[in-house]
Amino acid sequence: MKKKSKLCVIAGAYGLGNLGDEAILQGLLYKLRKDDPCKRMIVFSHEPTETMQFHHVAAARRNLLDLIRSDEVVIGGGELLGHGMALKFAVLALVVKLLGKPVKFYSIGAASNIENRLTRFFTRLALNFAASEISVRDLLSKRQLKRLGVKKSISFEKCPSFYIRPAPTERGQNILEKEGIDINHRPLVGITFRLTYDSFKNKEILEFSLNSLRQILKNLRDAQIVFIPFAKHAISPQNLERDDLFGEWLGKMLNCNRFRVIRGQYTPSEIMSVIGCLDVEISMRLHPLIFATRMGTLCFGVNVYGKVVGYSTLLHYELVELEDVNKLVRMVNHWSRMSRKNKSVVS
């Protein structure tokens, strides 16, 4: 009699319009399929149809029936233990434990403090009582979990997005041309800026964004700035997870045809290819930096979140503070020319 393949339920912040989370899912699916080609998988997603189309995997909204039928549950990737999501995934893990199923927290991020006492209690309970395995993607996340009171062993696992492969270079070039960007007009400076849930910090981000972009456009007369939105969240209080809207606002304020916002909907592999066509990528988000690393594109992190600081420190990348507008402009001026020369030699 043929042995029935195991069913794995994958849970995370999927189907919410965040390209970084979709990159995590794409890499996680690759890893799980490689480890066990016969394993059946279903992804809990906010937009199951979109997830099925993007990732060619069964998907559904979160439901008890699939948890009951599952053989294991993987809670994977992203900043799942922070920014208001910790309680949701803690409760999910506890339910899975009560159903007698193993639950793995895989390469999770926990860079931000959990301030709510009830959320801290349930998160600590879930990790100590329910989790069969816990792995984190960076040292800061491990420190946060230990600070929270997690007693179980915590291992390191690189972000699943490292497993994905870029689309062909021609695809990245085609996307840029489709978006109205002349790929022969150099340097191409990629930008991924974002707002936060801290209104005071947002004032600094707005000032930094406008001042730095104005100076780059002024100093580099041939430069084109390509704003790449990584978040278009379906559920976003005050539109703070809508990079596309932030990019459009910046475009209106700059009023320059050398500033372009990527408007189309593309896969992580396609955006990785786009970043590979750039001379420089500057980001307040983690995954654009990971994509740039993979593609050999020069990148700078801007200190808005701890995960960007941790990644930049780990790889000895230049890190820019929000008050360092002049430093960023100097670096872009210098390194965009160097990158352009290097890419010319390679081509």
Helices (H) and strands (E) in the chain, counts: 13, 13
**Is 2 within the bounds of a domain?**
no
Residue 269 has pLDDT above 50, yes or no: yes
pTM of the model: 0.90
* Structure token pair of residue 51: 């997830």
Q: Is residue 1 part of a domain?
A: no
Residue 217 CB neighbour total at 10 angstroms: 17
Least confident of 109-118, 221-230, 253-262: 109-118
In terms of domains, do 127 and 177 share one? no
Task: Tell me the mean pLDDT in the region 96-111.
Answer: 91
Question: Is it the case that residue 237 has pLDDT exceeding 90?
Answer: no
1-18 as b/e: b if 16+ CB within 10 A: eeeeeebbbbbbbbbbbb
Same domain assignment for residues 176 and 131: no
Residues 323-336 have a mean pLDDT of 85
Asked if 155 and 200 sit in the same domain, the reply is no
Q: Is the pLDDT reported for residue 239 higher than 90?
A: no
Same domain for 53 and 96, yes or no, is yes
Residue 323 in any domain: the answer is yes
- 63: which 2 tokens? 């439901």
What is the average per-residue pLDDT within 168-196?
93
φ, ψ at 232 (rounded to 5°): -135, 60
- Residue 185: band (very low, low, confident or very high) from pLDDT cuts 50, 70, 90: confident
Domain-ending residue, one of 121, 136, 163:
163
Judge whether residue 277 has pLDDT over 70.
yes
Nearest-CA neighbor of 268 among 6, 15, 20? 20
Asked whether the beta carbons of 201 and 168 are under 8 A apart, the reply is no
Q: Which residues pair with 43 in a beta bridge?
A: 10, 59
* 115 and 154 share one domain: yes
- pLDDT surpasses 70 at 125: yes
Do 217 and 134 share a structural domain? no
SS (H, E, C) 264-284: CCCCHHHHHHHHHCCCEEEEC
Domain boundary among 163, 178, 197: 163
Helix (H) or strand (E) holding 106: strand 103-108
Q: Which of 323, 210, 228, 236 is nearest to 274 (CA)?
A: 228
The pLDDT tens digits for 293-317 are 999 999 999 999 888 988 888 888 8
Final residue in a domain of this structure, among 163, 191, 222: 163
The confidence band for 186, taking pLDDT boundaries of 50, 70 and 90, is confident
Residues 152 and 173 in one domain: no
CATH number for the domain harbouring residue 155: 3.40.50.2000
* 157 shares a domain with 217: no
Asked if residue 113 and residue 60 are part of one domain, the reply reads yes
- Looking at the fold, whether 215 and 123 belong to one and the same domain comes out as no
Q: Evaluate the omega torsion of the peptide bond into residue 187 and state whether it is cis, within 30 degrees of 0.
A: yes
CB proximity list for 297: less than 8 A, separation 6 or greater? 190, 275, 276, 278, 279, 280, 281, 291, 339
CB 157 within 8 A of CB 106: yes
Model confidence band, residue 232 (pLDDT cutoffs 50, 70, 90): confident
Do 109 and 136 meet the contact criterion of CB atoms below 8 Å apart?
yes
The pLDDT value given to residue 322: 93
> 263 by DSSP, 3-state: which?
coil
The whole-number average pLDDT for the span 192-198 is: 90
Residues 96 and 220 in one domain: no
Contact present, 320 and 303 (Cβ < 8 Å): yes
Q: What pLDDT is recorded for position 74?
A: 96
Distance (Å, whole) CA 218 – CA 213: 8
Q: Are 325 and 211 in contact (CB under 8 A)?
A: yes
Question: Which of 24-33, 61-70, 134-143, 242-251 is least confident?
Answer: 134-143
Pair 269, 329: CB distance under 8 Å: no
The pLDDT assigned to 198 comes to 84
What's the domain range around 34?
A: 7-163
Domain count across the chain = 2
Do 193 and 143 share a structural domain?
no
Residue 327 is assigned to a structural domain of this protein: yes
Q: Is residue 106 part of a domain?
A: yes
Say what the pLDDT of residue 234 is.
65
